[in-house]
Amino acid sequence: MNYAFIISLLEGLFGTVILSMLTFIFGGILGFIIALARISPVAVISRGTSVYIEILQGMPLLVLMGLCFYGPGIFGYDSLSPLQAATFALTLYSSAYLGEIWRGCLQSVAKPQWEAAECLGISRWHRMRHVILPQALRIATPPTVGFMVQIIKNTSIASLVVGYAELSYNAKIINNSTFQPFLYFGIAALMYFAICYPLSVQSRVLERKLNVANR
């Protein structure tokens, strides 16, 4: 086994982690805004975000990433770097799914909780912050962590469209040189497992701690 190849896989793993973190940070922020917009009493805002979600959920991630990478150049703008294009596409993609996940979690809070908070005469934002969000967090934790795992695995699409050097891309390059697919793709699979499994375990720990089933 060539240790230079292992270093290359570790560099690819670092690229995967960076892209995943950027995606979840920006996608989470945008997704939270979308979730709040989806439950807005203003019909135009609610319907507008619903259209946004339907468009992005109906578009393959590979196509979306291609549009983000090649689109600016077609319109005369500077092309995005592979990391920028991949982050932008995954942010849009994840915001649509996280927004809908979190919208469902917010609306799953019992209606009497909303009514009781409204009777206190506090503002909508304070009702959301102090009454609704803490309860929705319990429900949202498992599906959110599960989606994080999916994002980590979906970063591999970035290598197919924009040539971003993440883990699967580096594994493919090494295989082209060594013709040992089982060895190096197997190592890559173990690396994916090493970052995804702890998230799944932590999700179960948080689920028990927050007592989701018996809230």
Asked if residue 24 is part of any domain, the answer here is yes
Q: How far apart are CA 212 and CA 43, in angstroms?
A: 31
Domain range for residue 202?
Answer: 3-210
CB 90 within 8 A of CB 16: no
Q: Look up the CATH number of the domain holding residue 16.
A: 1.10.3720.10
CB neighbours of residue 181 within 10 Å: 13
Q: Is residue 96 part of a domain?
A: yes
Check residue 125 and give its pLDDT.
72
In a domain, 100, yes or no: yes
C-beta of residue 132 within 8 angstroms of C-beta of residue 109 = yes
Residue 15 lies in a domain: yes
By C-alpha distance, which of 41, 65, 140 is closest to 97? 140
Note the maximum CA span of the chain. 69
Asked if residue 152 lies in contact with residue 20, where contact means CB atoms within 8 angstroms, the answer is yes
Domains held by the chain: number: 1
Residue 215 lies in a domain: no
pLDDT in tens, the chain (215 residues): 688 899 999 999 999 999 999 999 999 999 999 999 999 889 999 999 999 999 999 999 999 999 999 998 888 888 889 999 999 999 999 999 999 999 999 888 877 766 676 777 777 677 777 778 888 888 888 889 889 999 999 999 998 889 899 999 999 999 998 889 899 999 999 999 999 999 888 877 877 776 644 54
Residue 166 lies in a domain: yes
Contact (Cβ atoms closer than 8 angstroms) between residue 215 and residue 138: yes
Q: Are 158 and 97 in contact (CB under 8 A)?
A: no
Please tell me the pTM assigned to this model: 0.88
For residue range 194-215, list pLDDT tens digits in order. 999 998 888 778 777 766 445 4
**Would you say residue 198 lies in a domain?**
yes
